[in-house]
Amino acid sequence: MAKPRRALLLALGLLLPGAAPVVDASAAQAPRISKPRPAPPSQPDVPPLPPAVIDDKLAIGGDDLKARKVESRLSVEVLLNGRGPYRFIVDSGADTSAVGLGIARNLQLPLGTPAILNGMTSRDLVDRVKLDSLTLGPTTVRDLEVPALRELDLGGDGLLGIEQFSHVVVLFVMHQARFDAVTHLTRRPRDRPDMPLVGTFAQRARHRPSPIGVTTAELKRVEGASLFVRGLDAIDGTPVLDVKPHVPAFDCPGHARVPEWMSRLMEGYF
């Protein structure tokens, strides 16, 4: 029998899809929830979100959670107003719980007072909805107001499990590169006179017919919908196309061969 685990954090930041409750179509229409909008520079007449409070008495049934084990990712089942369960991701950096717009509308959650939400790149005014109860294991918290955000902004779905990998492969557009066939189709790597004249597809130059870059970077941490990496060979503002986990069986073939000049070119690069 699994022992109950003491949860150190009450804040549940990210929402995963769960079994949506069936809602009577004759019920009142869901409230119109506005999109996040930039908070005014002056102090608005809106309360900031209260800071998170640690509750050492909060108990969640189940196995001990280990972030890097597939069978025990940091998610828990939660009931909202007795409906669900929905799977919430435990976000240690969140100051409040948040729900997705889909659930807020399905449950016909009434609008509460707006609040200022300080994100990683913006400070926005967001609508909150009222919850009669939020049940987590044997614990029920009542009379809550929580932000209602787009599931895309919550970002938990696609990143679930990425924290188990030490490195990620990032594909991006080298948006400031400019390819000129006369200049770049064949050239000496880094324009070094000691390098041979080779075609653009025989080197890793940024000026290419299709300026797609790829870098394997160390994954330091995950916060919400943001990945923090080290060693990304890109500049600020680079558009990212995709992120994949680094898998040595795919990405590190054995007996790889490179020419002698490439070894010299990479000396002192990192």
pLDDT at residue 121 in the model:
64
pLDDT score of 129: 94
CATH of range 5-154; options 1.10.540, 2.40.70, 3.30.1600, 3.90.1150: 2.40.70
Q: What is the pLDDT of residue 155?
A: 58
- Which pLDDT does position 8 carry in this prediction? 26
Q: What ranges do the domains of the chain cover?
A: 5-154, 165-265
Contact 170, 215 (CB under 8 A): yes
CB 211 within 8 A of CB 173: yes
Residue 14: burial class (beta carbons within 10 Å; 0-12, 13-18, 19+): buried
pTM of the model: 0.51
With tokens 């594909």, the residue in question is 171
- 165-265 CATH pick, 3.40.50.1370, 3.30.70.920, 3.10.150.10, 2.40.30.70: 2.40.30.70
Residues with pLDDT less than 50, the chain = 1-28, 67-68, 70, 72
Dihedral of the alpha carbons of 155, 148, 102, 15, in degrees to the nearest 10: 40
The HSE-up count of residue 39 (CA atoms within 13 Å, CB side) is: 21
